[in-house]
Amino acid sequence: MVFTPWAHQVAAVQSVIAAIQTRPMDEAAAAERFLLQHSTGAGKTLTIAALTHQLLNVKDARALQFHTVVVMLDRVKLNEQVGDAVERYLRQNGVDEVFRAESIEHLAKLLDQSQQQSPQRVVITTTHKMGLLVRDEVLLTRLLHRSSTKRGLNGGDEGAEDGDDPFQRVAIITDEAHRSHTSSTRDSIEKVVKAGEGSHAQLTFIGFTATPNTDALELFGSSTEDGFRHPFHCYPIEQATADGRIMNTLDNYTCMSCEVETSVFPKPVQELLRTACGAQRRIIDHASDDVAVLKAKALIMMTDFQSMKREQPKVKCMIVVRSRQDVVRYYTLITTFVKKKKLGWNCYAAFSGSVALGGEDSKPVTEQTLNNRQVTLAISDIVIVCDKLDTGYNEPLLACMYVDRYLRASAHTVQLLSRLNRRHKHKPSVRVLDFANHVAQVRRSFADFWRESKVPYSSNMVDETAEKLDLVTAVTVLCDHFSELCCAPINIEDPRSFVSERILPLERDAFQQVIDALRGAVLAFKRLEQAGCEDFFDSTLTSSSLLLISKQRCRLEFEAIARPLLVHCIPNHYWYVHCPTLFCYRPHRAFPDLLTNVSVDLQDRIGCSGQVKKLVSCLLQFGELEQFETLILATAARNNKQRLESSVAAQVVKETTKTLKTSVSAKKAAEVDPRILARIDDMREALAAFEQDG
């Protein structure tokens, strides 16, 4: 296979090979480990293939070689896509001993060196098969017995000296190391390989991921003098975007602020609202899940996709929903829309297992029975997913994503949205319309992996930068939802009433945003307090938001309220209250089209903490979200009696007012979140007052 590698691919392979050649293998260590943080869409599959090929030729400092290289993938779809590409590359480069494990029995045989004729081989398998092999006591016992017999024939442990056999090393390369490669998986792999090869096998683990989470960094990361674990080699999203390898998925990112207002309740429900804890949340959650709401969202999605199709006829879109039931419901709504409008688009619903929507006449459906037999994933214009295809799905024409699912994990958020970043000549731009997440939280998720990721080596060490980013994000979300937290230094006398009157009535996803923001703020506040970063609070937080998240009384009150809220204590027969006039659904555009490369990188902003003038200048160069954050900053400075030059305050008033007014005037008034309009006036008043005070 002939291809021209990119510079980062060459550097990554050369770095690993050089380390293996020169690094003395620690006899006491369980395994040698490498973590490579490579952005999605940056040629990770071919990097794996090239590295696999080079591992078969390399010799370490003791002239030992790899007899087995296992390429382990965590999903069947990845096994097909990545596995096929790796096998094709190896065979075209003269490697014939490439095997695909068809079953756990076949995998056990492939891992048993006594059964092999060739001194070297490559095995491509899945994490699932490896786990099944470890749990199959019969197969594992046989493997152990064969290994024991082999060692006995060699004269016991003492008879197998290093010089007898140069092929004593095993490499295990795993893709998507952030998701499935846990410590238990690693132990399972070590157990199987040791069983197959005897005690002389020396293991090398190499993990690839674009989004290394804490587990991946702890398992594979390299310890450095700064007290953190880092990737061995890094080609992050920031660099891949700057080099033009991938498209920036945040170039056209719009969050929709949705409102579901309950208007008319049956009398039993009215009584329940007064007496049962969590009843209001159940009603609103059910209203948010009503098919009429899904129909309204589907109409917005398809209208938007129509406009994109007119400009880019060959592009495709993905709709991400919160459950398999929603996959089926959206599929029904959208196929009906496409047929009625005679658009001729193919729609494909991807989900596992069977789904029953409820009702006496409904029958369970599967992915195979629901989709048109003539429509495949490859030829679909619209793909609807829940947990499927969020990693490893490679469709260069995928240009638009509609998100109707609340995303909590940073790695999941980035992996999912990165499905859009592949380049194609018929895809000049990408677009995201998000109905469920707050843009500040999306920004925070990308900030985790925008540059090189790291985690503290010790659990007692506090990553101050990460905690500050968490706190800034949480306060931004809270001040966005509750303007009283940033407009004046109010005193929340009764946190329980504040939660019940201001938080409980929120729409489902807005409620989750606030709950997670409160939890994150409390946790970050406590950790920063332990690290002695009190000065950061005064320069970043308004007095009211500081009061909400910091006082012990508020923490206890919130925990006492949040627990039953999350349980949603309401009798089952009230879960399915259905009334066509129960709610009013109104979507609004909130902070549209604002995320930029520089905006995502929050570390520069954190470095300005305590320097109000420098921080204001930093924020004003970004988008609407940062413009709003200048209001929080100025209010914090005013409330905490800090000094700010009048010229700086005047600059903030001028720039933020101009930006927000331009943003509002460029869109239909009905589409703009009323909170944005209110914030324009609030910002002008707060900063003008601050300017006069200064």
pLDDT of residue 442: 92
pLDDT band at 613 (very low <50, low <70, confident <90, very high): low
pLDDT of residue 479: 82
- Among residues 605, 637, 591, the alpha carbon closest in space to that of 477 is found at 591
Task: Decide which of 333 and 388 is more confident.
Answer: 333
Residue 471 near residue 521 (C-beta atoms within 8 A):
yes
Taking the CA of residue 168 as centre, how many other CA atoms within 13 Å lie in the half-sphere pointing to its CB? 20
CB neighbours of 368 closer than 8 A, spacing ≥ 6? none
CA distance 188 to 181: 10
Task: Write out the residue limits of the CATH 3.40.50.300 domain(s) in the chain.
Answer: 7-235, 285-450
CA distance 286 to 530: 41
Backbone angles phi, psi at 233, to 5 degrees: -140, 140
CA distance 36 to 231: 6
pLDDT band at 311 (very low <50, low <70, confident <90, very high): very high
In the chain, the N- to C-terminal Cα span, in Å, equals 68
Residue 89 near residue 98 (C-beta atoms within 8 A):
no
Mean pLDDT, rounded, for 556-567: 45
- Secondary structure class of 259 (helix, strand, coil): strand
Name 68's bridge partners: 121, 170
Whole-number percent of the chain with pLDDT over 70: 62
pLDDT of residue 568: 39
Q: Which of 46-60, 190-204, 619-633 has the highest mean pLDDT?
A: 46-60
- Secondary structure class of 593 (helix, strand, coil): coil
In one-letter notation, the amino acid at residue 626 is E
Phi/psi-derived region of residue 75, left when phi > 0, alpha when psi is between -120 and 50, beta in every other case: beta
- The answer on pLDDT for 321 being more than 80 is yes
pLDDT of residue 269: 63
Residue 355 near residue 332 (C-beta atoms within 8 A):
no
**pLDDT digit string, tens, across residues 86-136:** 999 999 999 988 988 888 888 878 777 666 677 888 989 887 787 777 777
Task: Decide which of 74 and 293 is more confident.
Answer: 293
**pLDDT digit string, tens, across residues 477-529:** 888 888 777 655 555 666 667 777 788 888 889 989 998 988 888 888 888 88
pLDDT of residue 368: 92
CA distance 144 to 450: 45
pLDDT of residue 525: 81
In the block, tokens 């994109």 appear at 308
pLDDT of residue 416: 94
Task: Decide which of 425 and 542 is more confident.
Answer: 425
Q: Round the CA-based radius of gyration of the chain to a whole number and report it.
A: 28
Evaluated on CA atoms 430, 434, 440, 445, the torsion sign reads: negative
pLDDT of residue 68: 86
Whole-number percent of the chain with pLDDT over 90: 30
- Secondary structure class of 253 (helix, strand, coil): strand
- Among residues 121, 12, 7, the alpha carbon closest in space to that of 65 is found at 121
Domain covering 7-235 in this structure, CATH number: 3.40.50.300
Mean pLDDT, rounded, for 613-618: 61
- Secondary structure class of 184 (helix, strand, coil): helix
- Among residues 266, 288, 286, 281, the alpha carbon closest in space to that of 569 is found at 281
Mean pLDDT, rounded, for 182-202: 59
DSSP code per residue over 211-238 = S--HHHHHHHPEE-TTSEEE-SEEE-HH
Mean pLDDT, rounded, for 406-422: 93
CA distance 43 to 30: 30
Q: Which of 3-12, 130-139, 464-473, 625-634 has the highest mean pLDDT?
A: 3-12
- Among residues 286, 261, 277, the alpha carbon closest in space to that of 574 is found at 286
**pLDDT digit string, tens, across residues 645-679:** 666 666 666 665 665 555 555 554 445 566 666 66
Give whole-number Cα distances, 660 to 475, 520, 590, 618, 675, in Å.
Answer: 20, 28, 11, 17, 12
Strand arrangement of the beta sheet that strand 228-230 belongs to: 222-223, 228-230, 455-456
- The answer on pLDDT for 683 being more than 70 is no
pLDDT band at 218 (very low <50, low <70, confident <90, very high): confident
**pLDDT digit string, tens, across residues 365-413:** 999 999 998 999 999 999 999 988 877 688 999 999 999 999 989 999 9
**pLDDT digit string, tens, across residues 440-479:** 899 899 989 999 999 988 878 888 888 888 888 888 888 8
CA distance 433 to 310: 18
DSSP annotation of 644: -
Task: Decide which of 607 and 74 is more confident.
Answer: 74
**pLDDT digit string, tens, across residues 139-161:** 766 665 555 455 444 544 443 44
- Among residues 48, 10, 35, 30, the alpha carbon closest in space to that of 170 is found at 30
On average, the pLDDT of the chain sits at: 76
Q: Among the residues of 531-580, which ranges form H helices?
A: 534-540, 543-550, 552-567
Q: Tell me the two tokens of residue 310.
A: 């007119």
**pLDDT digit string, tens, across residues 253-283:** 888 887 766 555 566 666 665 666 566 777 7
CA distance 85 to 571: 53
Q: Are strands 98-100 and 583-590 parallel, antiparallel or unpaired?
A: unpaired
Q: Which CATH superfamily is domain 285-450 in?
A: P-loop containing nucleotide triphosphate hydrolases (3.40.50.300)
pLDDT of residue 271: 67
CB neighbours of 210 closer than 8 A, spacing ≥ 6? 37, 38, 39, 40, 42, 44, 178, 237, 414, 415, 418, 449
- Secondary structure class of 431 (helix, strand, coil): strand
Name 243's bridge partners: none
**Which of 422-434 are b and which e, b meaning 16 or more Cβ less than 10 Å from the residue's Cβ?**
beeeebeebbbbb
In the block, tokens 């005070």 appear at 693
pLDDT of residue 4: 85
pLDDT band at 28 (very low <50, low <70, confident <90, very high): very low
183 alpha carbon, distance to own chain's centre: 20
